[in-house]
Amino acid sequence: MKVSVLALWSAAAALLLVLVAQAPSAAEGSHHGGAGLKLGYYKKTCPGVENVVKYHVAKAIKANRGAGAALVRLIFHDCFVRGCDASVLLDPTPANPETEKTAPINIGLAAFEVIDEIKAALEERCPGTVSCADIVVYAARDASSLLSNGHVHFAAPAGRLDGVVSRAADAQRDLPDSTFTVSELIRNFRRKNFTVEELVILSGAHAVGVGHCSSFRARLSAPPAQIVPAYRNLLSGKCAAAAGGADDPVVANNVRDEDPRAVAAAFPSFLGKLRKARDFLDNSYYHNNLARIVTFNSDWQLLTEKEALGHVKEYAENGTLWDEDFSDALLKLSRLPMPPHSKGEIRKTCRWVNRH
């Protein structure tokens, strides 16, 4: 049964209103890495924490569905670098001017203000209890559920600590680049213990969100065997403003979310396939990829390797299967631990480490 975002938002708001505020000064027990996480971690120390997160995520998506797409992207960019430790949230400082969020590969990361809002609400309710790392996971889980009308869903264990290390160089090393070949993508995901199938599954998140022209510049001169010329012309027109200047326009990851006027001008045969609701998380990415109408080289590359291509076809044919497998892949992603012997804390604010 499909549930509208408005209905989910209303339900979350109603739940939030009836919660009884309890604010213990510290989390019960100790926070853990990926192996020690548990469901209901905050049941006693911050009851209703997941309802609070869902309320704020739903409110953000109601105002701008792009915020939901940004939250889904944020969990990947956090957890693939030093594990799920909220290190991607840390702002640069004079002592550390190059945190992860300043890395070129993290261009366009957004929704930090949504995380800030959730953290502030939880600090007021349960001071010093809920980690920013857990908030990132809860928020991504709720965003993916709301953007998919509830088809993507999983129970999220918690108990993570916030990291105190954040380096742009780590993000550049660990995150897959949009220019990667399929071999580079497979090696990159294998280092985090993800399979070719899981690479294809997580790539399906490109059904939502936006990409910067600088991330797919080479696609604008790719041959027809790699990208439909009409779509290539559409992208070229969108990115023309970037030529010779510092501006770096953004383009919808999913051609089905494109501006009808731009599609009418460059790709009129696709007009009938545009969707009314932007940023709907479904298996349309796989249909787009097989039709050679995706933005990133790393997307098209999945068609060049036998196993990956088989999974692209599989998920194009079975959207329900992708919903289930994407849920499982997000859960696995959320369990990536911090490096051994890492120091952690519960930050007071998600953008700064605590002062000791």
**Active-site residue, from 77, 151, 287, 311:** 77
Q: Is 176 annotated as a binding residue?
A: yes
- Give the pLDDT score at 277: 87
Q: What is the CATH number of domain 49-176+336-345?
A: 1.10.520.10
Q: Is 92 annotated as a binding residue?
A: no
If you write DSSP's letter for every residue of 40-109 in order, what string do you get?
TTTTTTSTTHHHHHHHHHHHHHHH-HHHHHHHHHHHHHHHTTTSSSSGGGPPP-SS-S--GGGSGGGTT-
Q: Is 100 annotated as a binding residue?
A: yes
d(CA 201, CA 329): 7
Q: Is 81 annotated as a binding residue?
A: yes
Structure tokens at 118: 């959730």
Q: Is 311 annotated as a binding residue?
A: no
- Whether 77 sits among the annotated catalytic residues: the reply is yes
For domain 182-241+249-333, which CATH number applies: 3.40.250.10, 1.10.420.10, 3.40.50.850, 1.10.3720.10?
A: 1.10.420.10
Q: Is 177 annotated as a binding residue?
A: no
> How is residue 39 annotated by DSSP?
T
Contact 350, 116 (CB under 8 A): yes
- Give the pLDDT score at 247: 80
Which of these, 106, 8, 4, lies nearest to 53 by C-alpha position?
8
Domain boundaries of the chain, sorted by first residue: 49-176+336-345, 182-241+249-333
In degrees and rounded to multiples of 5, residue 279 shows phi and psi of 55, 50
* Full pLDDT tens readout for the chain, 356 residues: 444 444 444 444 444 443 433 333 333 335 655 568 999 999 999 999 999 999 999 999 999 999 999 999 999 999 999 999 999 999 999 999 999 999 999 999 999 999 999 999 999 999 999 999 999 999 999 999 999 999 999 999 999 999 999 999 999 999 999 999 999 999 999 999 999 999 999 999 999 999 999 999 999 999 999 999 999 999 999 998 655 554 899 999 999 999 999 999 999 999 999 998 899 999 999 999 999 999 999 999 999 999 999 999 999 999 999 999 999 999 999 999 999 999 999 999 999 999 96
356 Cβ contact list (under 8 Å, min separation 6)? none
- Give the pLDDT score at 3: 43
Bridge partners of 38? Answer: 158
pTM for this entry: 0.90
If you write DSSP's letter for every residue of 221-233 in order, what string do you get?
G--TTTS-HHHHH
